[in-house]
Amino acid sequence: MANGQGGAMNSQQIIDLLNSDYEFGINFIIDNNPQAVESNISSLSIPLPQNPSNLQIREVIDTLLQDGTNDEAVSQITEILDVQYIDTATNYTGGFASYLHSQKPPSPTGEAESGGVVVAQVISNILGAVGNVWSAYKQEDLLELQQEMMQEQYAFELEKIEKTKILGIPQAVFISIIVFIMFVALIIFLSNRR
């Protein structure tokens, strides 16, 4: 329970969380086989302190998730979390291969699937959720970029208007006033000629 997960939950509660809470699922994978996750991070040349804690490993994954500029983030997270499940783990993560296998409906071909395959399917659900979260971060970054572009366009338009002002009055209004004054002057001039 290095990530504070598991607590006094029973197996069904843990399975339910694995199926519904990707954060719990990521912690479950890290807590089950932290050495393999650390090895996968190192193989991607992502910096990690020596002998990192599970929390430090998780921070690497969170950083990848939140980096909307890295188009490889989801595949990197998938590679990082693609580790062998250790059914004999002594923490809350161990002992689920047979339980998961018993919860899985029979294969349509009638062949039995290994506990590792079933766990891999649950982990696949977690990775799908990771992809969705990363997409949401990416979408948020795109919205921020669009907003910045709109603000820059608005500032450009205001600056353009400011440049065309004559005596602090927009050019179109100034020209209209001059035309109006000339028109009034013409009327006065024509009325005085009579």
Give the tens place of pLDDT for each residue, 92-130.
888 887 765 665 555 555 444 444 444 555 666 666 766
Residue 37: count of CB within 10 angstroms of its CB: 24
Average pLDDT, the chain: 78
Statement: residue 176 has pLDDT above 60:
yes
pLDDT-based confidence at residue 34 (cuts at 50, 70, 90): very high
User: For 4-27, what is each residue's pLDDT tens digit?
Assistant: 555 578 878 887 887 778 788 888
67 touches 35 (CB < 8 A): no
pLDDT, position 95: 83
pLDDT, position 134: 67
DSSP state of 83: -
| pTM attached to this predicted model | 0.56
